[in-house]
Amino acid sequence: MHVTARGGRPRLSRRAWFAAASGTAATGLVMTRWDALKATPQDPSTPPPDPTRVPGRFVSEVGSRAPGEQPRRLVRSLALSSSSRTPLQDLHGTITPSDLHFERHHAGVPEIAAEHHELLVHGMVERPMVFRMADLRRYPQTSRICFIECSGNGGGAYNRERMPAAITPQQLDGLVSTSEWAGVMLSTILREVGVRPGASWILAEGSDAAVMSRSVPLDKALDDAMLAYVQNGEAIRPEQGYPVRLLLPGWEGNAQVKWLRRIEVTDRPSMTRDETSRYTDPLKDGTARQFSFVMDAKSIITFPSYPYVLPDRGWWEIEGLAWSGRGRIVRVEVSTDRGRSWTDAVLQPPILSKSTVRFRHLWNWNGREVVILSRATDETGYVQPTVHQLWEARGERTAYHQNHQRAWKIASDGAVTFGLGDLL
């Protein structure tokens, strides 16, 4: 049984809702983000071009996107220290196209010829060695899908005095992307050089003008760290660290040094500029949290979100992304009543460790103003906190690791804005 919404649009009954969830409902009964983006209908007196009348273009050496599908990164630049953000609300699935993977640089993108690039591994090792790219490619290659996230991602919605309303998922959380990475395990290279007893850290150093350097515990280096030179089936892009970068699945992006040129094995952290004056978390008691590497569980609804407008009440599919640096996401819940009650969303496979997962939830909007939220739980039992819980634990001055719940307000006219300020 179906009832009719305003304007004669069919709406799902409860029975049809469950049929839609199992994929058996008729197409078009559940509205998605496509419905919110539909253009003004074409004049029926002007028929669309018929593609069957003329031959299409021939093959090409490199493919391109369809003319009507042109997602873009959002660029924020302050001199040479800059970033560009992934358009989360425009993408599908979990893999980020390489040309839309977020950027974060501290002194621009260096131009490096792979055939001349060298990686020195030295320090507390038996056999200091220099590796060229051809050398690294001779070792057994491995691959994995994982996200990389800047630890400052989400900072635009943490200050209670400047809580935005007109902010997109891209502007808010676009400093996270997911790729399939391939390369050689760092543990393989460390076994090759022979780590000496007493070593407990490494220092990773980049070839950019900032000479980005970060200390990494040896345990992580020997666990799942990778020297990555492939991204999504091709050589990693220059802005992602070409010809080789350090990949630390689940850890903050700044520690995953790009344009890697040196690894020094040490017995203590090197206390570099970017792990002392930066990338530490001031706490409300006046101390600071240092080496806060792991990115905690996080989620964001990407539809509906600003600046979408829902054209009608009825059944809509809420969707978004969740991820955790601690492992797999095991649960995402959605609230459509300002966080008073929660319902489990459906997790769309694949559900991988330290990777983004897409979640979906069918929701019948009654046309009234509402605030919707999501919260993620990972396999360790960690639950994404509210902003009040994060303020209580860490204070309000930190610029990093702001993984609190995100909210969207849907007005009675269907206009969507960021809604966290309405919950304070």
In DSSP terms, 215 is beta-bridged to 203
Of 160 and 6, the one with more pLDDT: 160
**8-state DSSP, 209:** T
What rounded mean pLDDT belongs to the chain? 91
Residue intervals in the chain for CATH 3.90.420.10: 99-279
Say how far apart CA 424 and CA 422 lie, in whole Å: 6
Kindly report whether the peptide bond that precedes residue 385 is cis, defined as omega within 30 degrees of 0: no
May I ask the CATH class of domain 99-279? Answer: alpha beta
Domain 298-423 has CATH 2.60.40.3950: no
Report the candidate in 116, 348, 95 with the shortest Cα–Cα distance to residue 233.
95
**Dihedral sign from CA coordinates of 31, 37, 43, 46:** negative
DSSP element (H, E) containing 305: none
Phi, psi of 263 (to 5 degrees): -130, 120
Rounded mean pLDDT of 375-396?
Answer: 96
pLDDT per residue as tens digits for the range 121-146:
999 999 999 999 999 999 999 999 99
Q: How far apart are CA 301 and CA 421, in angstroms?
A: 16
Give pLDDT, residue 10: 40
Helix and strand totals (H; E) in the chain: 7, 26
What is the reported pLDDT for 12? 45
- Mind listing the pLDDT tens digit for each residue in 12-36? 444 444 444 444 444 456 777 766 7
Q: 345-362, pLDDT tens digit by residue?
A: 999 999 999 999 999 999
Domain with CATH 2.60.40.650 in the chain: 298-423
Dihedral sign for Cα 140, 141, 146, 147, please. positive
